[in-house]
Amino acid sequence: MKRREFITLFGGAAAWPLAASAQQPGKLPTIGYLGPGGREADRQRVDAFINRLRELGWIEGRNVAIEQRWADNHAERFFEIADNLVQRKVDVIVTMGSVVPAVKRATSAIPIIFAVDADPVGRGLVASLARPGGNITGLSVQSVELVGKRLELLREIAPGVRRLGVLANDGFSGAMQEAATVQAEADALGIAPVPVAIRRKEDIARIFEGLKTRVDALYVCGDPLVSTNRYQINVLAVGTRLPTIHSTREYAEAYGLVSYGVSYLDLFRRSADYVDKVLRGAKPADLPVEQPTKFELVINMTTARALGLKISESFLLRADEVIE
């Protein structure tokens, strides 16, 4: 055996936590992942999570198992899937945002890690960021606190915006919270907000009919439904000649004009560190909820050109990524 192979195998063996010794013979420690959207929409984030686990010594199929489940934007399935993972006696459950309350309802014993949540204290998921208590912890994002910055960026790119469509899934509390902040911030900037509500995939094409005559640009509030259908939303927006502003890079990669917000890939990577600690015996109650540290400004120049927008050199220099 080559020296490098020996070190790799030895390192993998050393990564086994003490907690694993309590497992039944032949049973690997098991991570349950519950995504609110679809498999393809979650693919990059899950890959980032699994890659970080590998860096920490957890190799799927060798010393850890991963049970992946998706609700495909059907909120009524959250509890059913969470309950299934509990019945399968997974060792830790990883999820995000809207799904967390359902998982919390399903178990008070199995550790729960949220890779993303907008307001874990306000929603009663944790007692405080510093001392979560209970069986839940993870990473908190303050997306609504970035709304003002996004609107400033939009006005810089499209200074003629007077009426702003605020697209949000009115069946998703996080999106509605963000939409309310957008409307307040837009008013303060002298921009008239126009609520644009969806609840199903079938609503998307409908809302774009006649939208051009009502608004000059579109602020897209992120949620699992919108994320899954981001290509359709952005293609329709370009066809309607509406500049769009988004919260994460995935939307700009899907032909959205510009995005500014936390890096979800970074958050999912960091959630693997929580899982690593839990599998090694740490309690979620003792692991403080962490804040985002990586923010990204991304602009899609293909979309900008299609909309006939001229982007200043200073804006391009500030961007973390320019998609051509």
* Number of compact structural domains in the chain: 2
Question: β-pairing, 295-300 with 258-262?
Answer: antiparallel
In terms of domains, do 127 and 276 share one?
yes
Which pLDDT belongs to residue 296? 96
In terms of domains, do 188 and 258 share one?
yes
Which pLDDT belongs to residue 23? 47
In terms of domains, do 62 and 27 share one?
yes
Residue 129 pLDDT > 60: yes
Q: Which domain holds residue 23?
A: 3-140+264-293
Beta strands in the chain (DSSP E): 30-35, 65-70, 92-95, 112-117, 136-140, 163-169, 192-198, 217-220, 244-246, 258-262, 295-300, 321-323
In terms of domains, do 208 and 162 share one?
yes
Amino acid code (one letter) for 131: R
Q: What are phi and psi of 166, to 5 degrees?
A: -115, 95
In terms of domains, do 178 and 319 share one?
yes
Cβ(189)–Cβ(155) under 8 Å? yes
Q: What is the C-alpha separation between 134 and 312, in angstroms, rounded?
A: 49
Which pLDDT belongs to residue 25? 52
The reported pTM is 0.80
Q: For 206-242, what is each residue's pLDDT tens digit?
A: 999 889 899 999 999 988 899 889 999 999 999 999 9
**What is the rounded end-to-end Cα distance, in angstroms, of the chain?**
46
Q: What is the C-alpha separation between 30 and 67, in angstroms, rounded?
A: 7
In terms of domains, do 177 and 306 share one?
yes
In terms of domains, do 169 and 302 share one?
yes
Closest C-alpha among 293, 295, 287, 296 to residue 114? 287
Quote the percentage of the chain above a pLDDT of 90. Answer: 77
In terms of domains, do 135 and 258 share one?
no
In terms of domains, do 72 and 216 share one?
no
Averaged pLDDT, 30-59: 94
Q: For 169-183, what is each residue's pLDDT tens digit?
A: 998 877 888 999 999
CA 91 remoteness from chain centre: 23
Which pLDDT belongs to residue 18? 39
Which pLDDT belongs to residue 143? 64
Which pLDDT belongs to residue 68? 96
Averaged pLDDT, 30-42: 91
- Average per-residue pLDDT in the chain? 90
In terms of domains, do 212 and 240 share one?
yes
Report the CATH number that the domain containing residue 57 is assigned in CATH. Answer: 3.40.50.2300
In terms of domains, do 28 and 92 share one?
yes
In terms of domains, do 7 and 47 share one?
yes
Which pLDDT belongs to residue 235? 97
3-state secondary structure of 115: strand
Closest C-alpha among 184, 99, 191 to residue 144? 184
Q: For 253-291, what is each residue's pLDDT tens digit?
A: 999 999 999 999 999 999 999 999 999 999 999 999 999
- Sheet (strand 136-140) strand order: 65-70, 30-35, 92-95, 112-117, 136-140
Name the token pair of 120.
Answer: 């874990």
